[in-house]
Chain A
Amino acid sequence: MNAFDLIRSAVKNSLRSKTRTILTVLSIFIGAFTLTLTSGVGTGINQYIDTTVASIGADDVITVTKAAEDGTDGPVEYDPTAVAVDSPNSPPGAPGFSLIALTTDDLDSIGAIDGVLSVQPQLSVSPDYVQVADGTAYEANVGSFIPGMELDLAAGAEPDAASSDYEVAVPVSFVTPLGFTDDAAALGAMLTLAITDVTGTQSELRATIVGVSEEGLAGSTAFTANKVLTEALYDAQSGGLSESSKDSYAQAVVRFDPTGAEADLTTLKSDLSDLGYTGTTVEDQIGSFKAVIDGIVLVLNAFAVIALLAAGFGIVNTLLMSVQERTREIGLMKAMGLGGGKIFGLFSLEAVFIGLMGSALGVGVGMLAGMGANAVLADTLLADLPGLTLVAFDPAALATIILVVMGLAFLAGTIPALRAARQDPIESLRYE
């Protein structure tokens, strides 16, 4: 029997007892469907994290904070040196987060650590409005551009960190409101940023628009300023503050050589912690999150695999029945000179085909269900997280699912296939 006939016969035979095959296919389908969705969720979330990390960027940056001593359980004692309330640099969105402010002295000692290329306090600035020429003024957030970060640009270039001119990238949603006809028209124009200090004095700064940024999660609707612009804004904002308030920061950004060995980073971090600072890389923050996601996905996948194992026994059962039913046919084929190997092939191919049907169906329907869920969730539950596709499909992962199921089906098929291959033709022909 040639290969084509073997496959054709196996397919034909598997369709001979339709109800039985459909039921087995269904049990595989359930496993494959679940596996498709769970791994799809894993892929989706991780993809989201990866794109987010890329836009936060800066894989050569450690964020350094000075953590309050937290050795004891129970209520934390009041510490008058914990971050000053009047500091403009208190970490955003972290209430109850007990941090001790970093001073210029701290920055100096951090800068002295081996492996630290540079240390910069993280400045947070909040301008009152932005405006182009005499157009309408809008409220806006401004973030600082860290080299290494990747801005998702609709037009123009990223603000130049090394430049001594004030440069800014505007979010795409501000282009029309600011009075530009299109993205390209905004490039080269001057943007006015107004900022008020604690004493109520408002000052205005002018920056060149060098780029238009797409609204990613990290880019969101913030303007991205280069280093000199950020510092200028900070100075304007700090007018009237005491020197110690102005020079206390919640965080500092340390750069290191990202091409160095993993061990260098570890020593750098332990040096930091020896001095009482906590250093976290973007990897650290995202990595632990990813580990949690991976763990959850792994557990979900395990459930799907258990379902598939059960389906494997279904395949064994189906094929054993098939072998039993076709005892005489097997006997006849053997009598007519079909070798045991080919008989084995015939039945294991049948198993593999059943596996293929179940897994292809499961993956196909799983993808449809995933896309359906994405469409529904994007407008409801996940509306606040633009760019997150909850269920994403990686072709390699889907192919793996199908191949693994086919492999499992093959393994399940070996038991009945061996039985068929070993049948004695005369005994089989006598079988009533």
Chain B
Amino acid sequence: MSIPVLAARDIHKSYGRGATRFDALKGVSVDIQQGESVAIVGKSGSGKSTLMHLLALLDNPTTGSVELSGRDASGLSGRVVNQTRNETFGFVFQQFFLTPNTSVLDNVTLPLQIAGIGGAERKRRGMAVLEQLDLADKARNKATDLSGGQKQRVVIARALVNNPSVIFADEPTGNLDSATGKVVEDILFSLQEEKGITLIIVTHDEDLAARCDRRVYIRDGLITDSLHAVPAATAATIATAQEVRA
């Protein structure tokens, strides 16, 4: 088996200390292969976002380790971690986090700006990705003036603009009606198919989870189940009951 692009090795994460100490993750191990789509499923407060943040190197586990292409991330310098998050990862957070009073284009090209890419190149790539998401006509609008569905697409555009190899999406359809949610899902899965992007999707929506190659169930900080979907071609016709246990 190839080296997983990301792996969690028995990670624990606790918040606070003393009486208010709370163990959000209590020993989670998971391997994520390049090009795979993984759903992290669980109830609210189960620790999904916490796990995603740890895998995305946004936070450090209390114990255990996160491995990036087989290397322990705790050994990496801050600069390398920043560069990885900037160039290799794309983020869709649970909230939109759009900068108010700033144009859609500027919001979308933020990762490129952080990377130090020049204005003309930024604009070209930003417009290309907005085109892809049917938002080219909104490029000059203020980000805060868009509808919820449009904002979600802007957020996805921002996650894509730097051509990442891993996209982390926390409830990407949570704020959307089912039709718009479907559009956003289609965008994400077509990217996975066309560009071989690794998708890590946090959701409590079973239908969305079912479209992923693998579902990781988490409850009270522990992984309870990990299911592999049957190949995508047959998945549509075969009921979920026929899925194979990993």
Tell me the A residues contacting B by CB distance below 8 Å.
1-2, 5, 9, 16, 328-329, 331-333, 335-340, 342, 425-426, 429
| CB pair B85 A337 closer than 8 Å | yes
| Distance to closest chain B CB from A283 (angstroms) | 59
A329 to B101, CA, bound (A): 12
A41 to B53, CA, bound (A): 61
Give 13 CB contacts A-B under 8 Å. A5-B113, A5-B116, A328-B95, A329-B97, A332-B99, A333-B110, A333-B114, A335-B91, A336-B85, A336-B110, A337-B82, A337-B86, A339-B82
A333 to B53, CA, bound (A): 15
| Distance to closest chain A CB from B31 (angstroms) | 23
Closest A residue to B94 by CB, please name it: A429
A206 to B114, CA, bound (A): 86
A5 to B93, CA, bound (A): 25
| Distance to closest chain B CB from A111 (angstroms) | 79
| CB pair A338 B82 closer than 8 Å | yes
| CB pair A337 B58 closer than 8 Å | no
Q: Which residue in B53, B91, B93, B114 is a CB contact (below 8 Å) of A338?
A: B114
A240 to B113, CA, bound (A): 96
Complex contacts, A342 vs chain B, CB 8 Å = 114
A337 to B93, CA, bound (A): 15
A337 to B118, CA, bound (A): 17
A371 to B140, CA, bound (A): 45
0/1 per residue, B105-140, Cβ < 8 Å to A? 000001101111011000000000000000000000
Complex contacts, A329 vs chain B, CB 8 Å = 97, 99
Given contacts A1-B116, A2-B116, A429-B93, contact A336 B111 (CB under 8 A): yes
Complex contacts, B114 vs chain A, CB 8 Å = 1, 333, 336-338, 342
| Distance to closest chain A CB from B57 (angstroms) | 10
Closest B residue to A427 by CB, please name it: B59
Q: Which residue in B58, B78, B101, B119 is a CB contact (below 8 Å) of A335?
A: B58
Complex contacts, B119 vs chain A, CB 8 Å = 5
A351 to B64, CA, bound (A): 41
A336 to B97, CA, bound (A): 12
Closest B residue to A325 by CB, please name it: B100
Tell which of A2, A329, A336, A339 has the most Cβ of chain B within 10 Å.
A336
Given contacts A1-B113, A1-B116, contact A339 B79 (CB under 8 A): yes
Complex contacts, A5 vs chain B, CB 8 Å = 113, 116, 119
| CB pair A429 B116 closer than 8 Å | no
A426 to B57, CA, bound (A): 10
| CB pair A425 B58 closer than 8 Å | yes
Q: Other CB < 8 Å A-B pairs besides A2-B118, A332-B93, A336-B110, 18 of them?
A: A5-B113, A5-B116, A5-B119, A9-B113, A329-B99, A332-B97, A332-B99, A332-B110, A335-B56, A335-B85, A336-B86, A336-B91, A337-B82, A337-B86, A337-B114, A338-B82, A339-B82, A340-B78
Interface residues on B, range: 20 to 34
Closest B residue to A3 by CB, please name it: B116
Given contacts A339-B78, A339-B79, contact A16 B111 (CB under 8 A): no
Complex contacts, B99 vs chain A, CB 8 Å = 329, 332
Closest A residue to B99 by CB, please name it: A329
Q: B83 near A: Cβ within 8 Å?
A: yes
Complex contacts, A333 vs chain B, CB 8 Å = 110, 114
A227 to B110, CA, bound (A): 82
| Distance to closest chain B CB from A343 (angstroms) | 10
The 4 A-B residue pairs with the shortest CB-CB distance in the complex, in nearest-first order: A337-B86, A337-B82, A337-B85, A2-B116
Given contacts A1-B113, A5-B113, A429-B93, contact A337 B87 (CB under 8 A): yes
A9 to B115, CA, bound (A): 14
Closest A residue to B87 by CB, please name it: A337
| Distance to closest chain B CB from A344 (angstroms) | 14
| Distance to closest chain B CB from A342 (angstroms) | 8
A338 to B86, CA, bound (A): 8
Closest A residue to B110 by CB, please name it: A336
| Distance to closest chain A CB from B108 (angstroms) | 12
Q: Which residue in A328, A337, A429 is a CB contact (below 8 Å) of B111?
A: A337
| Distance to closest chain A CB from B81 (angstroms) | 8
A328 to B56, CA, bound (A): 18
Complex contacts, A337 vs chain B, CB 8 Å = 82-87, 111, 114-115
A339 to B82, CA, bound (A): 7
Closest A residue to B111 by CB, please name it: A336
| Distance to closest chain A CB from B147 (angstroms) | 20
A132 to B83, CA, bound (A): 91
Closest B residue to A5 by CB, please name it: B113
A340 to B113, CA, bound (A): 15
Closest B residue to A9 by CB, please name it: B113
Complex contacts, B111 vs chain A, CB 8 Å = 336-337
Given contacts A1-B114, A2-B116, contact A429 B83 (CB under 8 A): no
A200 to B116, CA, bound (A): 94
0/1 per residue, B61-105, Cβ < 8 Å to A? 000000000000000001100111111000101010101010000
Complex contacts, B85 vs chain A, CB 8 Å = 335-337
A60 to B91, CA, bound (A): 80
Closest A residue to B122 by CB, please name it: A5
